[in-house]
Amino acid sequence: MGYSLDFNQSNYETKTLTLDNQTIEYRAFEKIVYVEYPVDVQFHTMNIYVPDAYFKGEAIGPYTSDRAPILLINTVGGYKPGEPGGPGQGRFGEANAAFFALKQGYVVAMPGVRGRSLQDDNGRNIGVAPAAIIDLKAAVRYLRHNRAVIPGDTEKIVSNGTSAGGALSSLLGATGNHQDYEPYLEKIGAAKERDDIFAASCYCPITNLEHADAAYEWLFHGLNDYKKKKIERVNGEIKKTPIEGTMSVDQITLSAELKRNFPPYLNSLGLKSSNGETLTLDESGKGSFQKHVQSFLIDSAKTALAKGEDLSELEWITINNGNVIDLDFGQFILFATRMKPPLAFDDIELKTPENELFGTASIKAQHFSAFAEEHTQVDGSLADATIIKMMNPMDYIGSSENVTSSHWRIRHGSVDRDTSLAIPIILATTLMNKGYNVDFTLPWGQGHGGDYDLDELFAWIDNIAL
């Protein structure tokens, strides 16, 4: 006998929380095991939060208990396990998305999600791909299974996540009900329900991993210095340690090879701009797709200017009569700077988070691209092709074999170098070309992060949900 999949309505605590001079009252249903056969009881649990008003028959703005959207928030970062979170303070002490979502009248569901580095008592890896996406799907199924008793509308589930969590959000949005995931869902005893969702909100999705190395070198080839900051909490304080380096001759050679691999991939997608022009790149990496990327940056600078930002010191931006009319792409790259040396994702020494993501129960880390496998320095093996596919939303968007969310909101900071700008742009353009409702921008000056524009996110959710 496994755990029950039936929601216990009487197992809650009523809570009041005040942050930033705002107060919310809600019922906290916590530590709910959401599958029959949890692999890890800490992570196979979900917290569900409901505005208290709904238990008094009251409305919050336009929403009532049965009409409220459900915001499904994952806390995954770095493809590590994500704790089942709740309303409270974010990384920098600010009130978090769950807090404001409850204030807005949404029901909030925060499932724990398995990730790389999670091991059982026998030292077997139990969070490697595709565990994280299986868990999010199982959480959706649990909510649907209990739709009669959990407040909120299960046809209005909106997923939210940042970075690796943003990638998982895009995967959840893209792959609804696909058979590929079924055996894994069955194994953990997920409810037998649909797992497609209404909308996906994705902040800086670190996705399309097997093409991300080529996309990175397409953008950054020629820039041989890299710098990043290691961010950690030490005694409650955020500590940022700069890590800087210059690429070796071998890395520069790899960069050139990878850059050459990007145009064939990009051209194979057959993407189109909003005015119907086919987006391509020539062998040197130049072409209409580069202009397409540039156009999103120009739009971003325009928005910043309209909000009153002073861009006059950036000489590579041409401003005429208060309007941004051009932006020098090469100068922009120098301004943004490179964060990672090649191979940015599928490391030839198997040292990245992504290599561990594609480990197995007994293998710590693997390659997930033919290029890295060919260049491996540590005799690394290649992950199973189906599992690589199951972690990439690109392979599912718009397929007749699954249901892709109708609504998408994707944000990637203009100076976020954790992945190439090409990656979110390919994702957003593919969705647009296939007729989905996509709200996509590269917020100006924004680095790697998420949930920085919750007012706008919630206005977008209200707009699609009502």
Residues in the chain: 466
Least distance (Å) from ligand DHB to the CB of residue 411? 14
Which residues have a Cβ under 8 Å from the Cβ of 231 and sit 6 or more positions away? 238, 239, 240
Our CB check for ligand DHB shows the closer of 290 and 369 to be: 369
Cα(331)–Cα(444) distance, rounded to whole angstroms? 15
**Nearest CA-CA partner of 215 in 256, 259, 247:** 259
Tell me the closest approach of the beta carbon of residue 126 to ligand DHB, in angstroms.
19
Nearer to ligand DHB, 50 or 383 (CB): 383
Instruction: Assess contact for 343 and 111: CB atoms under 8 A.
Output: no
Sheet holding 13-19, edge to edge: 13-19, 22-33, 45-51, 107-111, 70-73, 157-162, 199-203, 407-411, 437-441
Cα–Cα distance between 283 and 226 in angstroms, integer?
25
Q: Which residues of 348-373 are buried (b: 16+ CB within 10 A; e: fewer)?
A: bebebbbbbbbbbeeeebbbbbebbb
Q: Which is nearer to ligand DHB, 355 or 376 (CB)?
A: 355
Q: Which residue number, 105 or 173, has a Cβ lying nearer to ligand DHB?
A: 173
Of the two residues 178 and 367, which places its CB atom closer to ligand DHB in the complex?
A: 367
Q: How far is the CB of 178 from ligand DHB (least distance, A)?
A: 23
Identify which of residues 19 and 164 has a Cβ nearer to ligand DHB in the complex: 164
- CA nearest neighbour of 209 among 379, 448, 82, 394: 394
| Positions in the binding site for ligand DHB (CB under 6 A) | 77-79, 163-164, 206, 353, 418
Quote the least distance from Cβ 88 to ligand DHB, whole Å: 20
By beta-carbon proximity to ligand DHB, the closer residue of 78 and 84 is 78
Q: How far is the CB of 243 from ligand DHB (least distance, A)?
A: 12
CA 366 → CA 312, 350, 373, 378, distances in Å? Answer: 47, 6, 9, 10
In the complex, minimum distance from the CB of residue 341 to ligand DHB, in angstroms, rounded to a whole number:
13
Residue nearest to ligand DHB (CB): 163
Query: Which residues contact residue 178 at a Cβ distance below 8 angstroms, ignoring those fewer than 6 apart?
Result: 396, 399, 401, 402
User: Token match 């806390």: residue?
Assistant: 75
Least Å from the CB of residue 79 to ligand DHB: 6
- Say if residues 16 and 23 touch (Cβ distance below 8 Å): yes
- Sequence-distant (≥ 6) Cβ neighbours of residue 23 within 8 angstroms: 16, 17
With respect to ligand DHB, which residue has the nearer C-beta, 77 or 85? Answer: 77
The nearest distance, CB 170 to ligand DHB, in angstroms, is 13
Secondary structure (3-state) at 236: coil
Contact 127, 83 (CB under 8 A): no
Cβ-defined contacts of 282-290 (< 8 Å, 24+): 285/218, 285/221, 285/259, 287/263, 289/422, 290/329
Q: Which is nearer to ligand DHB, 193 or 346 (CB)?
A: 346
Nearer to ligand DHB, 118 or 185 (CB): 118
CA 462, CA 460: separation in Å to the nearest integer? 5
Q: If residue 28 lies in a helix (H) or strand (E), which one and from where to where?
A: strand 22-33
Q: Which is nearer to ligand DHB, 210 or 418 (CB)?
A: 418
Of 77 and 263, nearer to ligand DHB (C-beta) is: 77
Q: Please list the alpha-helical segments (H only) found in 86-191.
A: 97-104, 131-145, 164-174, 182-187
Rounded least distance, CB 49 to ligand DHB, Å: 24
Q: Minimal distance in Å, beta carbon 113 to ligand DHB? A: 12
Shortest gap between Cβ of 45 and ligand DHB (angstroms)?
A: 21
Contact in structure between 184 and 130 (CB atoms under 8 Å): yes
Which residues 6+ apart lie within 8 Å of 444 measured at CB? Answer: 300, 301, 303, 304, 309, 414
Closest distance to ligand DHB from the beta carbon of 118 (Å)? 15
